[in-house]
Amino acid sequence: MEIIKTNIDDVVLIQPRLFNDSRGYFFESYSQRAFFEKVRPINFVQDNESKSSYGVLRGLHFQKMPYAQSKLVRVIKGAVLDVAVDIRKGSPTFGQHVAVELTEENHLQMFIPKGFAHGFSVLSDEAVMQYKCDNFYHPESEGAVAWNDPDLRVDWRIPAENIILSEKDRHHNRLKDAPYLFNYNENLYPELK
């Protein structure tokens, strides 16, 4: 697998090695050994899958400590714009984001570490996403930042009138008003010391 750096340290793209022939293709979507060597040691404990239609926007979500999650995200059908926003107070990239189109054709994966809010918009008629998490879902620890926070300047690549949100995602705070943020100097991976 090839690791592609982004404009924010620790958020990386992973390009798997694809083997094509007349029957189709094969690739290794995850190797713990390679991931540990090239990205960081992570113990993924939960795999999730979501299916969404064009215009659906989910985000920008995170879980608070000690239930924060790292995610390894990929698309197996369709196309999405995947977004990670640095919400670590004191970080040199605080409030900046990485936005990458993940598709069934490019097979890219994005690693979003703890300390980031995550969201995506569906660009195709339908999209199926799979992602690995290194902590279990804990509903009482949910946090979020407004998807349309003007300070973040995320271009979701969907006309505003076509965006489909959950009721909950309509009412999140802007980053500057968020009641909970991570601290850049805090060890967000104490279990891996």
Query: What's the mean pLDDT in 154-161?
Result: 96
Give the per-residue pLDDT at 192.
65
Residue 8, both tokens: 């924010």
Phi–psi pair at 185, nearest 5 degrees: -90, -5
Give the per-residue pLDDT at 28.
83
| Tens of pLDDT, residues 67-91 | 999 999 999 999 999 999 999 999 9
**pLDDT at 163 > cutoff 80:** yes
Q: Give the residue extent of every domain in the chain.
A: 43-183
Residues identified as active-site: 61, 131
Residue 19's pLDDT band, with cuts at 50, 70 and 90, is confident
Judge whether 128 and 49 are in contact, CB under 8 Å: yes
Cα–Cα distance for residue pair 149/172, rounded to 1 Å:
9
Class of the 43-183 domain?
mainly beta
| Cα 12 versus chain centre, distance | 10
Judge whether 6 and 86 are in contact, CB under 8 Å: no
pTM for this entry:
0.94
